[in-house]
A and B are shown apart, each in its own frame.
Chain A
Amino acid sequence: IAGITQAPTSQILAAGRRMTLRCTQDMRHNAMYWYRQDLGLGLRLIHYSNTAGTTGKGEVPDGYSVSRANTDDFPLTLASAVPSQTSVYFCASSRDRVDEQFFGPGTRLTVL
């Protein structure tokens, strides 16, 4: 049982390129989340999904998109990466929206 997996672990990307960060959970959790973590700013919510088929915008959604076609997967796409999207990205899930969140190991993304 892996919990939450994220891929890739790290990536260096040229500005303007498209990138999809993958997130998969095997806990059958209803809710899933994407955060970015930047030094001194803590975690900021990008997008979330309360259940398969639904998504919502978080605090910093611009430049990112998500989909939730099934319960297990919640990919995050950067359509055209910019240097300000250099960050560590964490995917999380919770049984439902009132429960504590379980976090993946993160993806370190550098946009040059």
Chain B
Amino acid sequence: AQSVTQLDSQVPVFEEAPVELRCNYSSSVSVYLFWYVQYPNQGLQLLLKYLSGSTLVKGINGFEAEFNKSQTSFHLRKPSVHISDTAEYFCAVSETGGSYIPTFGRGTSLIVHP
């Protein structure tokens, strides 16, 4: 069965600084990978996804993530954050060829300071 670990529960950063939110997964088969964002008092919305092909995936709001199969990682990056990026970020993994139901990480709270 798959599992996903988000290594940081909270990441504080100053506005316009770069940020990386870390995600590692465990699976014995090929996987699909997702990053979702949750703004306060809202549901989750998709930032980006990796299904196959290029390992560098670009998403909305200037975010990108890189799939690294050897390190079983899918870290999320943004070169310059804004106050409006303050939110909870969730990494999710689903195994291909099985139920495809995703397992979510526990979330990383990104706090952008002015």
Contact = CB atoms under 8 A, between A and B. Distances in A.
Interface size class of B (residues with CB under 8 A): 20 to 34
Nearest to B100: A97
Contacts, number: 49
A58 interface: yes
Given A40-B106, A42-B107, A43-B104, A98 B94 contact: yes
Q: Is the interface of A mostly helix, strand, loop or mixed?
A: strand
A44 B90 CA distance: 12
B80 to A, nearest CB: 26
A109 B82 CA distance: 32
Interface string B80-114: 00000000001000101001111011110000000
Contact of A42 (B49, B99, B101, B106): B106
A79 B60 CA distance: 40
B53 interface: no
Nearest to A96: B100
Interface stretch (A13-21, A64-72, A99-107): A99-107
Interface of B: 9, 32, 34, 36, 41-46, 49, 51, 90, 94, 96, 99-102, 104-107
Interface of A: 4, 33, 35, 40-45, 48, 56, 58, 90, 92, 97-98, 100-106
